[in-house]
Amino acid sequence: MIPILYLLAQISCLFLIILFAVFYLWANTFGVPFVPSDRRIVNNMVNFLKKTKVKKVAELGAGDGRVAFALAREGFEVLAVEVNPLLSLWMRLVKFVRRYNKVEIENKDLFKVDIKGIDAIIVYLYPEHLEKLEERFFKEMPSGSYILSNTFTFKNHKPIENTGKLYIYQVAK
Ligand SMILES: C[S@@+](CC[C@H](N)C(=O)[O-])C[C@H]1O[C@@H](n2cnc3c(N)ncnc32)[C@H](O)[C@@H]1O
């Protein structure tokens, strides 16, 4: 009995080490670690979008899906893109258990995502990532669409609104 418990403990430790390694590897490979948005920012994002005509939102780098699921609860269609396979798996589990049918989850690099048909984008990424995305967002997104960024700002565009750490941009009409 004792050797079996010992073996189970060893397997659990190994599993935890592998989980940690995967997290660490993904965070370092893609340069942005998982830091969840706090509840106030999530509420501000949702409340802002509720005042607009936005229907489909893409969250690029969705983490554990807290923003995506909060939006789905308010009736938005959401594309949640996350490169970390463990976080993507977690989102799939939450989606399945809580029946969030309006959330589509893609486990891929956000730089390869098709943003056609999206009328708002949510990001919480480092400035160097925003710099790479800025031109594409402001060229490819439909006029009047929105980009909501937690904490970090774009270099060449001015936000139309700024509440605390939330910066809101609108593609020129
Ligand atoms: C600061 S966290 C924000 C998580 C979530 N958006 C939130 O506000 O709670 C950034 C997330 O982006 C993901 N990420 C980083 N680089 C990525 C990439 N190239 N493609 C997709 N996701 C990426 C990270 O794995 C992490 O979960």
| Reported pTM | 0.88
Polymer length in residues for the chain? 173
Cα of 32 from ligand 1 centre, angstroms? 6
User: Quick one: which atom of ligand 1 is closest to the CA of 122?
Assistant: 6
Q: How many Å separate Cα 45 from the centre of its chain?
A: 12
User: Quick one: which atom of ligand 1 is closest to the CA of 59?
Assistant: 6
* DSSP states of 132-166: HHHHHHHHHSPTT-EEEEES---SS---SEEETTE
User: Quick one: which atom of ligand 1 is closest to the CA of 41?
Assistant: 8
Cα of 61 from ligand 1 centre, angstroms? 3
For 90-123, how does the pLDDT look when each residue is reduced to its tens digit (9 = 90+)?
Answer: 999 999 999 999 999 999 999 999 998 999 999 9
Q: pLDDT band for position 25 (50/70/90)?
A: confident
pLDDT of residue 155: 97
